[in-house]
Amino acid sequence: MTLTLGALHVGPADFAVMAIVNRTPDSFYDGGRNVELSAALDAVARAVDDGADIVDIGGVRAGYGPEVGVAEELGRVLPVVSAVRERFPQVAISVDTWRAAVAERVVAEGADLLNDTWAGADPELVALAASTGAALVCSHTGGLPPRTDPHRVSYDDVVAEVAAALRGAAERAVAAGVRRDGVLIDPTHDFGKNTRHSLELTRRLDELVATGWPVLVALSRKDFVGETLDLPAGQRLSGTLAATAISAWHGARVFRAHDVRETRQVLDMVASIRGTRPPAVARRGLA
């Protein structure tokens, strides 16, 4: 099944890079470097130059922090969506939100994808995607409400439970009217999971790919990488890229990333090893 996000089409053998552009002053990694609108737009331009196919715009920190209301979230994300749609018509625009009130406005301004990282916390979001034709990410959080961390969470089989939950969420979304070619599933590493859970999800990601739904992975500099290697966020690139290569080999299609150029190179290398992308240059031994 080909995934369609605006003008972007991602086939079963394709990899798409989703660049992270957060306008949050308390982002866990970038520390608020894109709070100013001009900085956010510069970040988008760099990401596109580095090979991003999708830009994911966020206005609320995923974890604990000060309350951010609908009006403030819209104030952060809406100007970026409008400007990106005008300046980069070929780029798919995603907005990281769980709120239908935010989703309605950003889709009207040109967003193609609603990245609902909190697994339907707002029940109106699916209906909004259905009525507007927007694509939708179905995620898994183990039942946690937005902006909370897991505590002593356990699963009999985390991969089986995540696969079943995501398959059900995707099917319910389509039954509600969301485009079948616009649905992705995201195991949502770290959300509702400990580090061992996230490692197992990565190791067995092929089981999620086997559901038939396009898989998005958001691995970039996350805590499971940091705990595995005992490194702070600023030193987690190598671990992130290792997890990216494994996920790509297992068949994930969309990769949410802070480091677009490096992620693009890893995905191109995996595609060439897999045989779905020719080498950019092949002169060795031919002269």
Q: Are residues 164 and 138 in contact, defined by beta-carbon separation less than 8 angstroms? A: no
Q: Which of 23, 99, 193, 222 is catalytic?
A: 222
CB-based contacts of 23: which residues, under 8 Å, 6+ apart?
34, 35, 37, 40, 57, 58, 59, 76, 77, 80
Could you tell me the two tokens for 285?
């031994």
Q: Which of 76, 221, 253, 256 is catalytic?
A: 256
Question: Residue 137 and residue 237: Cα distance in Å, rounded?
Answer: 24
CA 127/CA 176 separation, integer angstroms: 7
Q: Are 153 and 193 in contact (CB under 8 A)?
A: yes
Q: Report the C-alpha gap between 99 and 122 in whole angstroms.
A: 6
Q: How far is CA 177 from CA 125, 128, 137, 240, in A?
A: 12, 10, 14, 35
Q: What is the DSSP string of 68-83?
A: --HHHHHHHHHHHHHH
* Alpha helix (H) residue ranges in the chain: 37-49, 70-87, 100-108, 124-132, 158-175, 195-203, 205-209, 223-229, 237-250, 260-274
Whose tokens are 């999800």? That residue is: 201
Bridge partners of 183, per DSSP, are 136
256 included as an active-site residue: yes
Candidates 142, 137, 111; CA nearest to 126 is: 137
Query: What residues are annotated to the active site?
Result: 222, 256
